[in-house]
Amino acid sequence: MAFSKRFSKLRQFRPMNITPDCVVALTWVLKDAQGQILDELDDPVEFYLGGHDLLDKIQLALQDHLVGDQLDLHLEPEEAFGDFNEELIFLEPRHLFPAELEEGMTIEGHALPPACSPDVPKDVIYTVTDIYPEHVVIDGNHPLSGMALRISLTIKGVRAPTQQEKTHGTCGSGFFTLPSLPGNDTLH
């Protein structure tokens, strides 16, 4: 009896493997195909596996790994943020936007001025790429679309998800989701 109690307690402290339904804390270095660093995350961020926080290829690659493991992955555009779509670039009249508009700002499609072209999808986040005296160029592509990427991940923690994380399918920070507030230029 004493042995089984001790064994049970030891099992509680055994490192948890990554499973399809867990939360992982990750750091990474993200590079383009030429080796140029695009993003570096030194402080771990938590992501829910089994939800929509991470790209599918990353979720699959993390399976069965432990804290401390490192992974190096190559992602083609279709495994990451898709091909660049020229149909998501729009030229809109400058007078429709506020004077304080700056290049690099992001705008949710549903928050665009109502007088914008009716062809502009409302379920996309747009980045202001150029501002001219008469026009504004908005781009609905993810900033990393069309790019092959290399990512080096380090697993810093693994835990069971909370019920809230399971319900929402996220820990609150998706992998390279576009920022929804103008002026926020972080990729993570």
Query: For the segment 11-70, what is each residue's pLDDT rounded down to a tens digit?
Result: 444 567 898 899 999 999 999 999 999 999 999 999 999 888 899 999 999 999 999 999
pLDDT band at 185 (very low <50, low <70, confident <90, very high): very low
Residue 167 pLDDT > 80? yes
pLDDT band at 173 (very low <50, low <70, confident <90, very high): low
> Across the chain, what does the average pLDDT equal?
85
H helix intervals, the chain: 2-12, 56-62, 163-168
Planar angle of CA 133, 136, 142, nearest 5 degrees: 150
Closest by alpha carbon to 62, among 14, 21, 29, 13? 21
Domains of the chain, CATH where assigned: 18-81+146-168 (3.10.50.40), 86-139 (2.40.10)
What pLDDT sits at residue 175?
55
Beta strands in the chain (DSSP E): 22-32, 37-49, 70-75, 89-93, 106-108, 125-131, 135-139, 149-159
Percent of the chain with pLDDT over 90: 70
What pLDDT sits at residue 181?
33
What pLDDT sits at residue 10?
45
